Amino acid sequence: MSIRLHNVAKHFGRTCALEPVNLDIRDGELVGLLGPSGSGKTTLLRIIAGLENADREPAGRILFGERDVTHVHVRDRRIGFVFQHYALFRHMTVYDNVAFGLTVMPRKHRPTSGEIRARVHRLLEMVQLENFAKRYPAQLSGGQQQRVSLARALALRPDVLLLDEPFGALDAKVRQDLRRWLRHLHDELNFTSVFVTHDQEEALELSDRVVVMSNGRIEQIDTPDALYRAPANRFVFEFLGDVNHLEGEVRGGTLTCGDAHLSVALPDGPEELLLRPHEVKLATAPTREAHLPVTVTAISPVGAEVRVELAADWLSEPWLATVRHADFEQLNLTRGQRLFAVPRRWHRFPDPARQALAPETAAALS
C-alpha cells in the first residue's frame, strides 16, 4: 500500500510543528523519519496515522493507495501502530495481547475463534515467541515485549505499519538485533512501513529510504548511501555522523589556521571545511599539501576500527579520526603522541544556512 502526502502542514496554536510537506512512499517500502527532537517527525507520523489532524489551510491530502484518508478516523485507516513503550496489557498473556484486536472486532468482521487461534500462533511463530504464549509481559525482556507489540499490530493485517521510536527503550545490543530481525520480517512480508527515529545508524541500516527532517521541514529524501555520500545541505551532512571542522583564512591557494596549513583550490577569504572521521589519515610526518600537527588525546577500539581523538592549538574543538587496526598497530598509537592529520577529502558548504553541497568537494590529498 503506497502512501502519498500532499501539502500537509500542522500548527499547535501559533507554533508551526510541520511546514507544508509532500512525501511519496512506495508500496512495500520501509521508510525512516529521521531528525532531532522538535523536527516534526513524530507529528508527521501521527498525521499519517490519524492521531493528529493536519491543518485545514492549506488543504492537504493523505492517500493510502487510491483511497483518500485525509478525514478518515484512525480506527478506519487500517493501520498498525507500534509504540516505543510497548503499551501491552499487563494482565493479559502474550497470546491474549496479540489476539486482542481480533477479538474486539465487530461481529460481522470478526474471524472465528479457530481463525484467530491460527493467526495468533502463526504470528508468534513469526516473531519467534511461540513458546511464550502463556507468559505475561512482566515475564518477558524488553526486546520480547516489543516483538509482542509488533505481532499485535500485524494481527489485524493493516495496510500500513507505523512505528514510533520502536527500539528507543532498549539497550544497544538488543536494539541492533531487533532492527535486523524487523528488516528480515519486512522483506518476508513486504508490508509498507514508516518508522520514527533520532538514531542515524538505525535509520541508515534499516530503511529503504530516509526522510531527514529539521524544524518542521523535510531536508532530504534519499537512500541511505546517497544521503551519506551526497547530502543536500550542511544540516544533513552534520546530522548523519561525526564531523571535523577546519576553519581558517585562504590566501593564494593555502588555508592557514594558526601553525597549520592546507593546500586548497579555493578563492581567498575566510573558509570552513568539513571532514568525516574516516576522511582523516594519520601520519608521522606532514605532506607537501597538508601540515596539520595534532596530539592523540584518546583511543577507543570500536569493532573493525579504532576511534582516535585529536587535539591541537589550531583546533577550536577536538577532531575524531577512525583508523584500521593494522594502521593503529603500524603507528603504535598512544595518548600524547604527536602526529599529523592528512585529509583524504573535505567538503565545503559556502552558505551554512541551506545551500547544496558545493562542487568544490576535494579529492584525495595524500
| Cell, residue 261 | 596549513
Whether the Cβ atoms of residue 242 and residue 276 lie closer than 8 Å to each other = yes
Longest dimension (CA), the chain: 80
Domain boundary (209, 238, 267) is at 238
| Cell, residue 126 | 513469526
- In a shared domain, residues 14 and 123: yes
Is residue 349 assigned to a domain?
Answer: no
- In a shared domain, residues 192 and 283: no
Counting beta carbons within 10 angstroms of the beta carbon of residue 238, is it exposed (0 to 12), middle (13 to 18) or buried (19 or more)? middle
- In a shared domain, residues 283 and 198: no
Task: Write the single-letter amino acid at 106.
Answer: P
Handedness of CA 272, 226, 161, 168 (dihedral sign): negative
> Can you give the length of the chain in residues?
366
- In a shared domain, residues 56 and 181: yes
- In a shared domain, residues 253 and 225: no
Per residue, the 3-state secondary structure of the chain, as one string, reads CCEEEEEEEEEECCEEEEEEEEEEECCCCEEEEECCCCCCHHHHHHHHHCCCCCCCCCCCEEEECCEECCCCCHHHCCEEEECCCCCCCCCCCHHHHHHHHHHCCCCCCCCCHHHHHHHHHHHHHHCCCHHHCCCCHHHCCHHHHHHHHHHHHHHCCCCEEEEECCCCCCCHHHHHHHHHHHHHHHHHHCCEEEEEECCHHHHHHHCCEEEEEECCEEEEEECHHHHHHCCCCHHHHHHCCCCEEEEEEEECCEEEECCEEEECCCCCEEEEEEECHHHEEEECCCCCCEECEEEEEEEEEECCEEEEEEECCCCCCCEEEEEEHHHHHHHCCCCCCEEEEEECCCECCCCCCCCCCCCCCCCCCC
- In a shared domain, residues 247 and 231: no
- In a shared domain, residues 24 and 166: yes
Output the domain CATH number for residue 105: 3.40.50.300
Whether the Cβ atoms of residue 41 and residue 214 lie closer than 8 Å to each other = no
Q: CB under 8 Å to 238, separation ≥6 — which residues?
A: 274
Domain count, the chain: 2
CA–centroid distance for 83 within its chain: 17
- In a shared domain, residues 228 and 266: no
- In a shared domain, residues 105 and 142: yes
- In a shared domain, residues 122 and 214: yes
Domain boundary (238, 262, 293) is at 238
Is residue 355 assigned to a domain?
Answer: no
Is residue 336 assigned to a domain?
Answer: yes
- In a shared domain, residues 26 and 151: yes
Q: CB under 8 Å to 105, separation ≥6 — which residues?
A: 111, 156
In tens digits, the chain (366 residues) has pLDDT values of 899 999 999 999 989 999 999 999 999 999 999 999 889 999 999 999 999 999 988 888 999 999 999 999 988 888 988 887 778 889 999 999 999 988 888 888 888 999 999 999 988 988 888 899 999 999 998 888 888 888 888 888 888 999 988 877 677 777 778 788 888 888 888 889 999 998 888 899 899 999 999 999 999 999 999 998 889 899 999 998 899 999 999 999 999 998 899 999 999 999 999 999 999 999 999 999 999 999 999 999 988 899 999 999 999 899 999 999 999 999 999 999 999 999 999 998 875 443 444 444 544 443
Domain that holds residue 250: 242-343
Whether the Cβ atoms of residue 23 and residue 201 lie closer than 8 Å to each other = no
What is the spatial distance between Cα 250 and Cα 248, in angstroms, rounded to a whole number? 7
pTM here?
0.81
Taking the CA of residue 223 as centre, how many other CA atoms within 13 Å lie in the half-sphere pointing to its CB? 3
Output the domain CATH number for residue 318: 2.40.50.100
